[in-house]
Amino acid sequence: MSQSDYLFTSESVSEGHPDKVCDRISDTIVDAFLAADPEARVAVETLATTNRIVLAGEVRGPASITPEVMIEKAREAVKAIGYEQDGFDWRTADVSCYVHQQSADIAVGVDAAGNKDEGAGDQGIMFGYACDETDELMPAPIALSHRILKAMAAARHAGKVPFGPDAKSQVTLRYVDGKPVGATSVVVSTQHLEGVGQEEVRELVRPFVLDALPEGWMCPEDEFYVNPTGRFVIGGPDGDCGLTGRKIIVDTYGGAAPHGGGAFSGKDPTKVDRSAAYAARYLAKNVVAAGLASKCLIQVSYAIGVAKPLSVYVNCAGTNRVDETELSKVLQQLMNLSPRGIRTHLQLNRPIYARTAAYGHFGRAAEEDGGFSWEKLDLVSELKSAFGAAASV
């Protein structure tokens, strides 16, 4: 029997967190390649530390995206985040590029040829998840953690608060009968300007937390922690080394659902680590939105060079109103889960990835230019039709 009364915690980190700086740079380079050639192949990693950025990885794309262009894109990403501090400045940081051509051995196994369809870029397992805890069909703790930091970042960019770009949030919710009912603790750590005291920071942060949480959900005062160490002036890569792909739980479901292991940022959509995770979220979200379950977890798996998924697993944690095996069959009829099928269905070969690098890849609104296309609910009517009365229970 599953536990129904419990506490659950998720965290988020801001766009200025060292690892998120690296995710943003890597995805900005992905966008540059896809803007120049929608079929470009990109796998770029970034390391950032005190006034130094290192780019590495493999690409196959237009000659116009030179190392010099990638270096300039890295600076643009850091500028957009807002780093102009002594230890990390977009204008003066030393940026090195060690990106090289994609392995021919990988290319020959993945590329379509003759009667062979394009295969997966690697073996692996990917998960997608949705639940009815929030309007965006995301687990409430991670959704609220993101909400706090996004609002703080907007105020910082508008010059309304003396915060720096680096920040973290953490929300612990109490669940009763499996449903969230309120926060038991909230932690926010935010970089701030020199001379701003801890108590001032606390009161500046408070309205962002109150606005993010549903009415009446605020935690007790002694469980509201803001900059617990007392001072946070040195932040970002100057305070801690950053790496691409090191915040995969923040990127997904805050620990409320499994993660297959592969990171998203820095990868073009032929990489199933990214595209298949997006597809699994898309399907799970449509299942919950169609009323077929209150929770839906989907796992897909692939072998390198093979187009068809090796498995498609659906688990609704006992909340399903239809048979899960039949649901898996219907979902595969509605969407071709080959790498090419996913990219075509969700139109992923577009420069839409830099915006995903912070505040989660899921639970966002689908955008007119194709951004966050995996958040669309355009399968709901077909799912309802497939399962008839069960979808309206």
Binding-site residues for Mg(2+) sit at 19
* Burial group, residue 120, by CB count within 10 angstroms (0-12, 13-18, 19+): buried
Q: Which residues are part of a known binding site for L-methionine?
A: 58, 102, 240, 271
Q: Are 139 and 131 in contact (CB under 8 A)?
A: yes
Nearest CA to 238 out of 26, 344, 92 is that of: 92
Q: Which residues are part of a known binding site for ATP?
A: 17, 166-168, 231-232, 240, 246-247, 263, 267
Q: Which residues are part of a known binding site for K(+)?
A: 45
Distance CA 243, CA 56 (A): 11
Torsion angles phi and psi, residue 126, rounded to 5:
-135, 145
Q: Which residues are part of a known binding site?
A: 17, 19, 45, 58, 102, 166-168, 231-232, 240, 246-247, 263, 267, 271
Distance CA 348, CA 342 (A): 8
Distance CA 146, CA 148 (A): 6
